[in-house]
Amino acid sequence: MSYLAQTDTQLHDIINHETERQINKLQLIASENYASPSVLEATGSVLTNKYAEGYPSKRYYGGCEFVDQAEDLARERLGKLFGAEYTNVQPHSGATANQAIYFTFVKPGDKVLGMDLAHGGHLTHGSPVNFSGKLYDMVSYGVNRETGMIDLNEVEDIAMREKPKMIIVGASSYPRNIDYKAFREIADKAGAYLWADIAHPSGLIAVNLLNDPMPHCHVVTSTTHKTLRGPRGGIIMMGKDWENPFGIVAPKSGRTRMMSEVLDSVVMPGIQGGPLMHVIAAKAVAFGEALQPTFLTYQKQVKANAARLAELMVANGFNLISNGTDNHLMLIDLHNKNVTGKEAENAMEASGITLNKNMVPFDDRSPFVTSGIRIGAAAITTRGFRENDMEFVAEVINTVIDNIGNEAVYEDVRSRVKDYCSKFPLYTELTD
């Protein structure tokens, strides 16, 4: 930050304040994490200067020999991490990666089956305010009202009735392990392609702590910045490459194109122009980190922390959807606490605890209010929290929920959170 301190004190201060916010607050947003200083260094590198439209060795610009190496490294490491024969590391975001899947596998107006947003799905899985909901005929499945879990019989019934062209499996607030094999059997029966969006649990999947979608899905997407702990971005993978079923042939030879070629061309030039080479290099760094044995240790701790926190929240009378978690997150229905998601989020924010309001299955409130909150353990685990620290986390959340509107309590919790966080130093090299 030394350059900005000289050239742009305004922005230097903003970044410093954000760094302090990340250090001093309890970071419980399930989709966030703390990228390593090495990932940050690559993201802030001179690779941001380079135009590299195309793919390694097939660029539209000269001078790409080193960015080619960075992209090859990212693809190779990602393939190794997930056992994927095909990888594309260029999508700027998870939403863009997902857009590429729609543009590849279905046509506007086609029917697509995804998880309801209120039940755990994602904007790009068919929300009416997203391109997915506007361009495609979206139908949805949810969780069972009693168990809070995906009911595979219901998914099968909907799939057989609706006959979608594509089924999406994956979610942004579903706390349970997903049976991709069963989803594939349903997709095959219904004659649909199966796409897994593993943006949230990808770090846990990479080290085999959750079911592996790769052998069962036609295609898999993820973000790189959640449990995977890399820079902000998206990726696309396939376990095995296969000939495209859409009749797309190479113009000169007439050869049927492989899906890898089709997906590559949908991403660039289909959707994107120049790839963010600095981010791709940072993805390579993160995948390299994820291939180290310490990443397995980290993910085991994420899972253990989430499980312990869930246990403590249940003991404090919170209603967890599905009564627990298999992954890094939990979804809490606050109806029995007489607090809305919005009130809870605001009260937590005032108390130094960052989390987000979230729709719960069968929610009777709007997405701007909601009846729930989502809590994730990935970031606090990165900074060193262990199972016994979950007692503090559960206690402060409980105290705030029991004292909505009590500014004195917020202030006390904020100060205790700051003290507690100071025991887990973070980004010491980045603070002035």
348 token code pair = 């937590």
Catalytic residue among 75, 165, 229, 232: 232
Q: Is 275 in the site for ligand DSN (CB under 6 A)?
A: no
CB-based contact 145:322 (threshold 8 Å): no
Q: What is the DSSP letter of 211?
A: -
Check if 55 is active-site: no
Q: Is 337 a catalytic residue?
A: no
| Of 203, 384, 245, 274, the residue nearest 49 (C-alpha) | 274
Annotated catalytic residue 232:
yes
Give bridge partners of residue 373 from the DSSP assignment: 332, 357
Closest to ligand DSN by CB, 121 or 239: 121
122 binds ligand DSN, rule: CB under 6 A: yes
Give the interface size with ligand DSN as a residue count (CB under 6 A).
4
- Are the beta carbons of 277 and 73 closer than 8 angstroms? no
Query: In angstroms, what is the minimal distance from the CB of 123 to ligand DSN?
Result: 7
Place of tokens 């994730």: 376
Q: How far is the CB of 14 from ligand DSN (least distance, A)?
A: 22
The region that residue 327 occupies, defined by phi over 0 for left and psi between -120 and 50 for alpha, beta otherwise, is beta
Output 93 or 244, the one with its CB closest to ligand DSN. 93
Given 19, 20, 41, 51, which residue is catalytic?
51
Q: Is the peptide bond before 251 cis (omega within 30 degrees of 0)?
A: no
Q: Which of 22, 23, 25, 31 binds ligand DSN (CB under 6 A)?
A: 31
Contact pattern from residue 234 through residue 263 relative to ligand DSN, giving x for each residue in contact according to CB under 6 A and a dash for the rest: ------------------------------
- Smallest gap from Cβ 379 to ligand DSN, in A, equals 12
User: Scanning residues 282 to 311, which ones bind ligand DSN (CB under 6 A)?
Assistant: none
Q: Cα separation of 343 and 51, whole Å?
A: 45
Tell me whether residue 21 or residue 189 sits nearer to ligand DSN (CB atom).
Answer: 21
Of 221 and 299, nearer to ligand DSN (C-beta) is: 221
Q: Report phi then psi at 145, rounded to 5.
A: -60, -35
Exactly one of 104, 223, 224, 340 is catalytic; name it. 223
Q: Nearest approach, Cβ of 359 to ligand DSN (angstroms)?
A: 12
172 binds ligand DSN (CB under 6 A): yes
List of E strands, 264-416: 319-320, 329-333, 353-354, 356-358, 372-376
Residue 94 touches ligand DSN, criterion: CB under 6 A: yes
Could you tell me the two tokens for 86? 């095909």
Q: Is 226 assigned a catalytic role?
A: yes
* Helical ranges in 106-236 per DSSP H: 131-135, 152-162, 180-190, 202-206
With CA atoms as reference, report the closest residue to 209 among 142, 289, 307.
307
- Catalytic annotation, pick one of 41, 53, 137, 412: 53
Residue 184 lies near ligand DSN (rule: CB under 6 A): no
Q: Is residue 213 part of the contact set for ligand DSN (CB under 6 A)? A: no
C-alpha torsion sign, points 344, 347, 349, 351: negative
By CB under 6 A, tell whether 327 contacts ligand DSN.
no
DSSP3 helix / strand / coil % (the chain, rounded to 5): 50, 15, 40
CB of 172 to ligand DSN, least distance (A): 4
Q: Is 223 a catalytic residue?
A: yes
349 is catalytic: no
Residues with active-site annotation = 51, 53, 197, 223, 226, 232
Binding positions for ligand DSN, rule: CB under 6 A: 31, 94, 122, 172
